Structure formats: structure tokens, C-alpha cells
């Protein structure tokens, strides 16, 4: 199946360059849905405005949540300490299949999560992306900001069945965990040919007038060592179906794996679960870190062997306290 997908960001970038163009429909090679899978059409802002069953006060809260998701940088230094917005990884407003659509969290939680070994709420799932992907600190549970984000996630799920887990297009994809033999130099070559033009030779992205146009892929302003994107298979799947921007599906699986390994062989802020010893932290969270290069030696350097937390002036957000229910 040769699917098409609109790439709003390319249009957005072209607009900032002074031209207004209709959103281009680009042919992309996305994975097919499996028989029996639930496939969801998340509503759009136009649907929201037209929906008279939703109270105007609720509309305001949903729109606030959407604004927080799209422009999370407005909370730089409060909730976010790197250069990312939620939509940097959950592309297309968090609505798009194979781009980490966020609505499934609203229909499948509370549930047990392997990453932290207990039953998580939707708020805690959102908090996780703040703590790791945004190298930050989540809004307080139950606060107006958290309520707005929860409302945005839940509204996107409108009409979807609750606790249905066989969801087509969830997460980033189909590459699975069987990785080919990874080679740093091969990944570097793929990077230089396909990614450096936007994300920079040095992986630091590009900022124009204080606005992040292309987000960094490593270093102090990127996601930290505890983020899902540090798992090579997750990054490979994201990259395969979403990058290079405007040409998703154009890399081979092999190239996606190699470049994912390359960007995740570079330094980034410390994992907030750090115990003070990188090897010990890797062992303690091996169910996660067996898929990352954290605590392994690459090019003669032990990755993650530092206490650099980037711009964030603390290590552990409180929300990472382990919880048990007995
Ligand atoms: C650096 C990339 C990145 C950024 C930035 C990011 N996330 Fe995520 N997010 C991920 C990854 C990776 C996953 C796990 C996807 C998977 O399971 O394959 C995820 C999963 C989620 C899920 C669960 C989706 C599901 O299928 O259950 C939610 C909800 C979510 N993120 C919300 C957010 C919010 C809110 C923000 C901003 C505060 C954010 N994310 C920022 C990478 C990111
Ligand atoms: C045409 C410019 C462009 C090219 C080329 C490109 N990217 Fe991106 N990339 C972006 C933009 C813009 C975003 C953020 C998307 C958004 O905010 O909607 C992004 C987001 C990302 C992210 C998630 C956010 C982050 O900073 O961690 C990763 C990972 C990524 N790109 C990797 C790659 C890789 C690997 C390649 C090469 C195969 C690549 N990109 C090529 C523009 C580009």
C-alpha cells in the first residue's frame, strides 16, 4: 500500500521562508495495518470547533493542552530544559499514525508499564516524557497545566474503544528489535548524507531568532539518557517512518538502524535514574538499557559516565519516586 501523508511542517518551514503553499501530500512507504487492528482517525481542531457537544470551557482547556504540546518551549526552564517540543517526536500534532500518536495512552491507561514496573496513570505517562524526552520536570499532577494536557490526549481519542490494545499505527513502527550488525562509521555516512543538512554536522540542530527550527539530536539540548528515543530500535523506527523530514520511508531499514545507532552513540544529559555509577545504573535498568548504548564503550569512551544534566539544574524529578500498591 502506498500511503500519502501531509507534512505540515515542511509547509510551515516554507511559510517562514516567505511563501505560502498548500500542505504538500507526499507519497511515503508506511507499514500496513494488520488484519483485526483498530485504526483511529484522531479529530482535528476544525472538528473540535464544530463539535457542539463539547462545552466551550472544555474547548478552551483542550486548545490550551494542544498549545502546550505544540509549543512546549514556552515552559523552558520550568518544565522543559532542552530544545524540544512534544511535537518534535510526536509529529502532526500527536495525531499521526507511525509518528507516536499520543491518544492510545488515553484509552489504554491505567496499565502496568515495564519501564517503571508499576501501574501508571495517563498523567504519569505524560510526566515520563517530560522527565526523559524533554529533560525536564512535569507539571504537578492535578494542576491546570496537567489537566489541559490530559484533556488534549483524551479528546484526540474521541470515539476509540477503551482498553483495546491491538492498535494500528501505534508507536513508531514495525522495525522490531532484530537489529543488523551496527557500525558507527556506516551510521555516520548515512547521517552526513541525509540528516546533517538540517540537524547539523555536529547534531546540534538549528535555532533562528531563539526559535528552534531543527531540533538537536545529541548534546546538552537533546533528550536525556533515560528517554525512549535512546533505544536503538525506537529511534530506528521513528527515523524510518518520519525522517528525513518530508521524505519518510526513503531510508532502507539497514540505514535507519545504522543512523539510529550513530546518533545514540553520542553524549547527552544523564539518565534521571542515575545512581552515581553508570554501569550500575545500566544493570539496574537493563530491561530498558539493553537496547541503548548507555554504559557501553563506543570509540574508546564509556557513554553516560558523567554527571552532566544539561541546562537542568537538578537530576531527579520527584515524580520518579518508585510506587507500590500494597
Ligand atoms: C525525544 C522524543 C520525544 C519527545 C520530545 C516526547 N516524546 Fe512522548 N514518546 C516518545 C517515545 C519514544 C515514546 C514511546 C513510543 C513507543 O512506545 O514506541 C513516547 C510515548 C508517549 C506517549 C504514550 C503513547 C502511547 O502509545 O501510549 C505519550 C502520551 C507521550 N509520549 C506524550 C508526550 C508528551 C506530552 C510530550 C511533551 C511533554 C512528549 N511525549 C515528548 C518520545 C518523545
Ligand atoms: C529537512 C530537514 C530535516 C532532515 C533532512 C532531517 N530531519 Fe529530523 N527533524 C526535522 C524537524 C523539523 C524535526 C522536528 C519535527 C517537528 O517539530 O515537527 C525533526 C525531528 C527529528 C527527531 C526527533 C526530535 C529530536 O530532536 O530528537 C529525530 C530523532 C530526527 N529528526 C532524526 C533525523 C535523522 C536521523 C535524519 C536523517 C536520516 C533526519 N532527522 C533528517 C528536520 C529534519
Domain edges within the chain: 1-30, 34-156, 184-320
Query: 256, 217, 104: which is closest to 171 by C-alpha?
Result: 104
Average pLDDT of span 84-94:
96
Which ligand places an atom closest to the C-alpha of 195?
2
Span 22-33, average pLDDT: 63
Q: Report which protein residue has its CA nearest ligand 1's atom 25.
A: 105
Q: What is the pLDDT of residues 230-282, one digit of tens each?
A: 999 999 999 999 999 998 889 999 999 999 999 999 999 999 999 999 999 99
Q: Tell me, what's the pLDDT at 249?
A: 87
Residue 249 near residue 240 (C-beta atoms within 8 A)? yes
Answer yes or no: are the C-beta atoms of 156 and 43 closer than 8 Å: yes
Helix (H) or strand (E) holding 149: helix 144-156
Supply the mean pLDDT for the chain. Answer: 90
- 34-156 and 184-320 agree in CATH topology: yes
Q: What is the pLDDT, as a whole number, of residue 318?
A: 83
CA–centroid distance, 174 to ligand 2, in Å, is: 19
- Cβ–ligand 2 contact at 58 (below 6 Å): no
Q: How far apart are CA 206 and CA 219, in angstroms?
A: 13
Q: Give per-residue pLDDT as tens, 134-185.
A: 999 999 999 999 999 999 999 999 999 999 999 999 998 778 767 899 999 9
Q: From the CA of 300, how far away is ligand 1's center (Å)?
A: 32
Whether the pLDDT of residue 19 is over 50: the answer is no
**Ligand showing the shortest atom-to-Cα distance for residue 73:** 1
C-alpha neighbours within 13 Å on the C-beta side of residue 253: 12
Question: Which superfamily is assigned to 184-320 in CATH?
Answer: Cytochrome c-like domain (1.10.760.10)
Cβ distance 215 to 84 under 8 Å?
yes
Give yes or no for residue 9 CB within 6 A of ligand 2: yes
User: Nearest ligand to the C-alpha of residue 154?
Assistant: 1
Q: What is the pLDDT of residue 12?
A: 43
**The pLDDT of residue 37:** 95
Distance of alpha carbon 100 from alpha carbon 153, whole angstroms: 12
Tens digits of per-residue pLDDT, 94-132? 999 999 999 999 999 999 988 888 899 999 999 999 999
One CATH from 1.10.10.10, 3.30.1490.20, 2.40.50.180, 1.10.760.10 for 34-156: 1.10.760.10
pLDDT at position 5 is: 59
Report whether pLDDT(78) > 50: yes
Q: What is the pLDDT of residue 2?
A: 37
Residue 179's pLDDT is 83
* Cα(294) to centroid(ligand 2), Å: 22
Identify the DSSP state of 297: E
Residues 256, 70: Cα–Cα separation, whole Å? 26
- Ligand 1 contact via 130 beta carbon (within 6 Å): yes
Amino acid at each position: 500500500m502506498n500511503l500519502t501523508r501531509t507534512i505540515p511542517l515542511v509547509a510551515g518551514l516554507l511559510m517562514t521562508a516567505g511563501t505560502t503553499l498548500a500542505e504538500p501530500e507526499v507519497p511515503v512507504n508506511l507499514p500496513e495495518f494488520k488484519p483485526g487492528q483498530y485504526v483511529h482517525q484522531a479529530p482535528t481542531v476544525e472538528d473540535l470547533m464544530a463539535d457542539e457537544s463539547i462545552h466551550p470551557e472544555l474547548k478552551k482547556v483542550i486548545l490550551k493542552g494542544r498549545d502546550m504540546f505544540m509549543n512546549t518551549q514556552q515552559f523552558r526552564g520550568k518544565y522543559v530544559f532542552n530544545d524540544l517540543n512534544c511535537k518534535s517526536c510526536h509529529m502532526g500534532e500527536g495525531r499521526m499514525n507511525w509518528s507516536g500518536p499520543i491518544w492510545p495512552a488515553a484509552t489504554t491507561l491505567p496499565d502496568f508499564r515495564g519501564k517503571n514496573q508499576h501501574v501508571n496513570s495517563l498523567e504519569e505517562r505524560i510526566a515520563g516524557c517530560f522527565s526523559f524526552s524533554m529533560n525536564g520536570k512535569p507539571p504537578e499532577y492535578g494542576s491546570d497545566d496537567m489537566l489541559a494536557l490530559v484533556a488534549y490526549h483524551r479528546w484526540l481519542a474521541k470515539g476509540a474503544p477503551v482498553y483495546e490494545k491491538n492498535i494500528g499505527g501505534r508507536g513508531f513502527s514495525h522495525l522490531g528489535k532484530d537489529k543488523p550488525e551496527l557500525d558507527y562509521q556506516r551510521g555516520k555516512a548515512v547521517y552526513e548524507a541525509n540528516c546533517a543538512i538540517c540537524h547539523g554536522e555536529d547534531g546540534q540542530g538549528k535555532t533562528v531568532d531563539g526559535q528552534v527550527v531543527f531540533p538537536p539530536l545529541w548534546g546538552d539540548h537533546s533528550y536525556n539518557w533515560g528517554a525512549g528515543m535512546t533505544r536503538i530500535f525506537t529511534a530506528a523506527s521513528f527515523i524510518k517512518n518520519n525522517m528525513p523530514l518530508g521524505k519518510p520511508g526513503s531510508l532502507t531499514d539497514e540505514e535507519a538502524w545504522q543512523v539510529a545507532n550513530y546518533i545514540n552513540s553520542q553524549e547527552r544529559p544523564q539518565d534521571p535514574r542515575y545512581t552515581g555509577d553508570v554501569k550500575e545504573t545500566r544493570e539496574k535498568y537493563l530491561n530498558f538499557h539493553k537496547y541503548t548504548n548507555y554504559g557501553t564503550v563506543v570509540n574508546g569512551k564509556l557513554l553516560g559516565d558523567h554527571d552532566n544534566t544539561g541546562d537542568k539544574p537538578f537530576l531527579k524529578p520527584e515524580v520518579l519516586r518508585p510506587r507500590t500498591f500494597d
